[in-house]
Amino acid sequence: MSYDQLYDYMITKEDNECDMFEDSKYVPVYQLCERIFEFGKYCEFHSFLNGVPFFKNKDTQKYYNSDHEIMIIEKDFVKNVIEHYTNKVKNYYKELLKDIDIKNKDTFTQDNFYKLWEHINSFNSEWNYLIPYDLEKGDEVTKSWKFEYEIFELVRIYKHFNYKKNLLVYYGW
């Protein structure tokens, strides 16, 4: 199906939101999938991004992949993302503690202090202003974009997604 055919089909659907921009034909990705979980991060998975193209029409696939990637992925991709994020978190905490000797206060620099303050302040905002979960809507564990929390959301998807009955689609920036 060409992009124009896709657009023409989508505008006939009752719940369409395709005419978001008056000056162009645009079919948002969230109209193509039943459900979307947002990572909130740029794509950094090129080394293990091994999915199948979402569209069989090469021009339509190319249109969506001009700024992004959209493809059908398998369970191993989710596992790789979990491991990738886990390593990011581990390295981040190692970096925060680098060069700090708890037994020698002289090793605690202004830079160390600032990094720790920035980290604490970020989590303070998350918990006191944004609240990283919603007890009423959806079945997501978290709505936070912090790597630490997204790992748990990805574990939920990894464990509970029915890979035999559904397609898992990756759409990355």
pLDDT, tens digit only, all 173 positions of the chain: 777 777 777 777 666 555 555 556 777 777 777 777 666 556 677 677 777 888 888 888 888 877 667 888 899 999 999 999 999 999 999 999 988 888 888 888 889 899 999 999 999 999 998 888 888 888 888 888 888 988 999 999 999 999 999 888 887 76
pLDDT score for 37:
67
Residue 91, token pair as written in the block: 């390295």
pLDDT value of residue 173: 64
Task: Report helix, strand or coil for 49.
Answer: coil
Write the CA distances from 159 to 55, 78, 82, 173, integer angstroms.
Answer: 26, 10, 12, 25
**Beta-carbon contacts of residue 64 (< 8 Å; ≥ 6 apart):** 29, 54, 55, 70
Residues in the chain, how many?
A: 173
Whole-angstrom Cα distance, residue 89 to residue 111? 19
Q: What is the pLDDT of residue 83?
A: 94
For residues 168 and 157, give the distance between their C-alpha atoms in angstroms, rounded to a whole number.
Answer: 10
Q: How far is CA 68 from CA 1, 41, 159, 171, in A?
A: 19, 12, 26, 7
Per-residue model confidence (pLDDT) at position 45: 72
pLDDT for the residue 24: 66
Question: With b meaning 16 or more CB within 10 Å and e meaning fewer, what string describes 104-115?
Answer: eeeeeeeeeeeb
- pLDDT score for 172: 74
CA dist 97 and 115 (Å) reads 9
Local structure of residue 72 (DSSP, 8 states): E
